A and B are shown apart, each in its own frame.
Chain A
Amino acid sequence: MRSAVARRRSAQWMAYAFLLPALAVYLTFVVGPILVSMYYSLFDWSGVSPRATYVGLQNFARLMGDRVFWKAVGNNLELMLLSILTQMPFALALALLITKGLRGMRFFRTAYFVPHMVPTVAIGILWIYIYDPTMGLLNNLLGELGLWRWQRGWLGEEATALYAVVGTMAWQFIPFYMILFQAALVGIPQELYEAASIDGATGTKAFRYITLPLLKGTIRTAVVLSLVGSLKYFDLIYIMTMGGPNHASELMATYMFKTAFNQFRMGYGSAVAVMSFLIAFVVSSTLLYFTQFRRED
Chain B
Amino acid sequence: MKVRKITWAVTTLLVVGILVLAASPVAAQRKSLEIWHIFTNEHEAAVIERAVERFRADYPDVDVTITVTDNDTYKTKLQVAMAAGTPPDVFNSWGGGWLEAYVDAGMVLPLTEALAKDGWGDIYVPASLELAKFGDDYYAVPLTLAVVVFFYNQQLFDQYGWEPPETWSELLDLVADMRSKGIIPISLANRTKWPGAFYFIYLAHRVGGHEVFLNAYNRVPGYGFDHEAFVRAGELIQELVRAGAFPPGFNGLDHDVGQASALMYSGRAAMHLMGSWFPGQARAEDPEFGQHVGWFPFPRIEGSSADPTEVVAGGDLFSVASTTKHPEEALALLRYITDEQTAADWTRATGRLPAVIGTPIDDPMTADLMAYLENAGYMQLYYDQFLPPELGELHKDTTQAIFGGTMTPLEAARAMEAKAKELLD
Contacts and interface: CB of A to CB of B under 8 A. Distances in A.
Contact of B253 (A47, A48, A133): A133
A287 B226 CA distance: 48
Contacts of A152: 248-249
B191 A50 contact: no
B289 to A, nearest CB: 15
B253 A156 contact: yes
Name the interface size band of chain B: 35 or more
Interface string A128-154: 110111110000000000000001111
A47 B191 contact: no
B251 A46 contact: no
A48 B102 contact: yes
Find the residue from A156, A157, A261 having the highest chain B CB count within 10 A.
Answer: A156
A285 interface: no
Contacts of B102: 48
Contacts of A261: 75-76, 79
Nearest to A47: B83
Given A128-B259, A264-B101, A156 B390 contact: no
B273 to A, nearest CB: 18
A133 B248 contact: yes
Interface in B171-224: 184, 190-193
Interface stretch (A92-100, A206-214, A220-228, A242-250): A242-250
Contacts of A244: 191, 193, 251-252, 400
Given A48-B82, A50-B106, A245 B389 contact: no
B390 A264 contact: yes
Chain A interface main SS type: loop
B253 A263 contact: no
A155 to B, nearest CB: 3
Contacts of B263: 134-135
Name the interface size band of chain A: 35 or more
Interface string B85-126: 000000000000000011011110000000000000000000
Contact of A245 (B79, B251, B259): B251
Interface stretch (B294-302, B330-338, B401-409): B401-409
A262 B191 CA distance: 15
B250 A246 contact: no
Find the residue from A153, A246, A247, A265 having the highest chain B CB count within 10 A.
Answer: A246
A158 B75 CA distance: 27
Contacts of A158: 404, 406
A291 B383 CA distance: 52
A61 B243 CA distance: 43
B56 to A, nearest CB: 31
Contacts of A241: 191, 252
Find the residue from A48, A151, A263 having the highest chain B CB count within 10 A.
Answer: A48
Nearest to A131: B252
A161 B390 contact: no
Contacts of A204: none
Contacts of A292: none
A245 B389 CA distance: 19
A161 B248 contact: no
A47 B251 contact: no
B266 interface: yes
Given A48-B102, A49-B105, A246-B400, A153 B79 contact: no
A57 interface: no
A71 interface: no
Contacts of B401: 245-246
13 contacts: A47-B83, A131-B252, A133-B249, A134-B184, A155-B191, A156-B190, A157-B252, A157-B404, A244-B191, A244-B193, A244-B251, A245-B406, A262-B393
Interface of B: 75-76, 79, 82-83, 101-102, 104-107, 184, 190-193, 247-254, 257, 259, 262-263, 266, 268, 388-390, 393, 397, 400-401, 404, 406-407
User: Which 5 residue pairs spanning A and B have beta carbons closest together?
Assistant: A153-B249, A156-B252, A155-B252, A156-B249, A133-B249
Interface of A: 46-51, 125, 128-129, 131-135, 151-158, 161, 240-242, 244-247, 258, 261-266
